[in-house]
A and B are shown apart, each in its own frame.
Chain A
Amino acid sequence: MNDLTELFNKLFVNFNYIVAATLFVIGLYTVIAKSNLIKKFMGLNIIETSVFLFIVSSGAIVGGKAPIIGEGVSSKTAFVNPIPQALILTGIVVAMSTTAVALSLMIKLYEQCGTLNADKLKELK
């Protein structure tokens, strides 16, 4: 009983992480199960977003402020962790780049084959 309470406690404290894991899995399901290429790609974007959510949550501090140090503010605990924010900026740019390449591939596929359904594309081969 005690273990169970502790587990629930942890689930509650790390709620953002659990949500990130769930989103990751939803995205993974979309990538594997859907046959429309655009939906597949949306699944990929969901996975990427879930990882960003996880990273940015791991930098959160209760009651923390944005780490911009102005005049007279220098207390250490007042700021959130800046590293994850710097990391997801990179991550977002990478995700955007992948999206651009994937969309251009889909434009070309649609021009050539007239469909974006993975099953139909397999038949066209």
Chain B
Amino acid sequence: MIEFSQHCPVLMTITLIIGGALTPIVSISRKKFSFWWAFFVSLLAFFFCSCAVWRLYTMGPISYWLSGWEPPYGIEVYFDYVSTITFLMTALGILVIVYSKRYILHDISEEKLPTYYTLVLLILGGMVGFSVTGDMFNLYVFLEILSLSGYALIAITEEKLNAMASFKYLVMGSVSSVSVLLGVALLYNVTGTLNMADIALRLQQFGPTTAVYVALVLFIIGFSVKAALFPVHAWLPDAHALAPSPVSALLSGLVIKIGIVGMLRVLYCVYKLGGPVDFTSVTNFMGWLAAVTVLVGAFFAFFQDDIKMIFAYSSISNIGYILMGISLVSFTQPERGYLGMMGGLVHVFNHAIIKSTLFLCAGALIYKTGFRKLSDLRGIGKKMPITCGVLTIAALSIAGIPPTAGFICKWYIILGTIEFGKPIFAVALLLGAMLVFAYYIKIINALFFREPNESITEVDEAPLSMLVPIIILAIGCLVMGIFAYLPLAVIRPAAATMLGLPSTYLPLGG
């Protein structure tokens, strides 16, 4: 078992990638078989991921040398506490694939089914590979796999605006990928190596030059575009709102988190707190941008009528919260950043669960009624009670009402800003939270309490294959909120190791 679990971080990546490559072959004669194949592959990947996580929490991080070459000479796969996000990715992948079984035929023809499932498996494989790799260039390669499949999944429907949204995403995403590549190239030129741990070591040895700072700026720009930080968020609303709903759930729940994971890797695994480069001035500037992002996202969401557009803008706002949490670090006193980092990392998990619930519920409403505007969907709550009930739970979660998942992480992030001595950020975050609360109340009000739309007749509950995933996710929202110590206990070592503290670190009184 120990022998076997050591291979798991690589096994889950290649399972998803090879499974994706095989999908068109296994479904040559029966296109619909591709669903069962994708379901099986994602289950297998989830199993491997569970083994890897089990080993991580019993025996510590896994360092896996591909082809058996020792790290600076070959590629290293490094499964550490931040990589636990792969657990979420594979689990959410299963739910999205199950949900797609009925939903996706609403948007695409049967001809394209194998292509769709291939792309879903490849985007999952790209994300998993990205999160577990310990090599800078490998990071870039997996970044490209997941970005390319993301662009394609947005444009898979025949709608008129999708190609435009996808193209906008492609141009901005490619520029950001290339700037990441240039950053990798600069670091390679300075240090002569591509392995993350080795780069950190050799940066210490050579000391900082201008090129090292510029590389940091390029990384931040690149990953900010992927995470849709404020000045470069323009691609997100169209792309996430127009994509088919399961794809929106993947993009909004997981793909934008890739920017966060990338930043964590670069800032805290390569440059390192206490290392040769004092990057806190950059991260504090990012904190300001994050505060603006929270407000801008919440503000624009308020004026939308399209239900998926609201959720897309709300994603921008929530990415602001996460970035705020992970960027408030002090170079000399790492303990001071602990609360914020903790909240940010927990919010990565919670937001992924909540936002995919919201998008999948919106998908169920669109699937049954064909409407996507809030004004058209009024009063649907009585006809589709389960879907709308789940949507309400998720909406309350994202607004941060106490017994649900969203509360604990926002609480920690706000505590973190105060601990860090930036109460102005706390004010911005609270203001954002109030705006979010207001527009989710607007949604709940429209769904349940306004008189029904007459043109919606004979609408019943969504099919079972769509209800099961959203109910599981809603239970997840509640469990992550009521038993909040569970995610906290799981994330605690990740937050501590990112800050360079021992993985068993506990703040005083915490």
Contacts and interface: CB of A to CB of B under 8 A. Distances in A.
A and B touch in the complex (CB under 8 A): yes
Contact of B163 (A40, A105, A125): A105
B137 A112 contact: no
A26 interface: no
B174 interface: yes
Given A105-B155, A112-B163, A54 B182 contact: yes
A67 to B, nearest CB: 16
Contact of A112 (B160, B182, B189): B160
Interface in A95-114: 97-98, 101-102, 105-106, 108-109, 112-113
A107 B176 CA distance: 24
Interface stretch (A1-9, A44-52, A68-76): A44-52
Interface residues of A, number: 31
B141 A37 contact: no
A15 to B, nearest CB: 15
Contacts of A80: none
Contact of A109 (B167, B174, B189): B167
A18 interface: no
Nearest to A37: B167
Contacts of B194: 83
Nearest to A54: B185
A105 B137 CA distance: 27
A78 interface: no
A94 B144 contact: yes
A94 B161 contact: no
A108 B171 contact: no
B152 interface: yes
A111 to B, nearest CB: 9
Given A47-B175, A54-B182, A108-B163, A90 B137 contact: yes
Q: Is the interface of B mostly helix, strand, loop or mixed?
A: helix
A72 B271 CA distance: 43
B148 interface: yes
Interface string B144-162: 1000100110010000110
Given A97-B148, A98-B174, A101-B152, A24 B163 contact: no
B166 interface: yes
B178 interface: yes
A54 B188 CA distance: 11
Most buried by A among B137, B148, B185: B185
A121 interface: yes
Contacts of B171: 31, 40-41, 44, 102
Contacts of A54: 182, 185
A109 B155 CA distance: 10
B170 interface: yes
A58 interface: yes
A105 B170 contact: yes
B490 interface: no
A5 B171 CA distance: 40
B181 interface: yes
Nearest to B186: A54
A64 B161 CA distance: 52
A53 B151 CA distance: 26
Contact of A101 (B161, B170, B188, B189): B170
Contacts of B188: 55, 58, 83-84, 87
Interface in B170-198: 170-171, 174-175, 178, 181-182, 185, 188-189, 194
Given A94-B141, A112-B160, A101 B181 contact: no
Given A51-B182, A97-B144, A105-B167, A87 B137 contact: yes
A31 B164 CA distance: 15
Interface in A16-39: 24, 28, 31, 37
B177 to A, nearest CB: 8
A33 B181 CA distance: 23
Given A28-B175, A106-B167, A125-B161, A58 B189 contact: yes
Interface of A: 24, 28, 31, 37, 40-41, 44, 47-48, 51, 54-55, 58, 83-84, 87, 90-91, 94, 97-98, 101-102, 105-106, 108-109, 112-113, 121, 125
10 contacts: A28-B175, A40-B171, A58-B185, A87-B185, A97-B144, A97-B148, A98-B170, A102-B170, A108-B163, A125-B161
Which 3 A-B pairs rank lowest in CB-CB distance, beginning with the nearest?
A58-B189, A108-B163, A109-B163
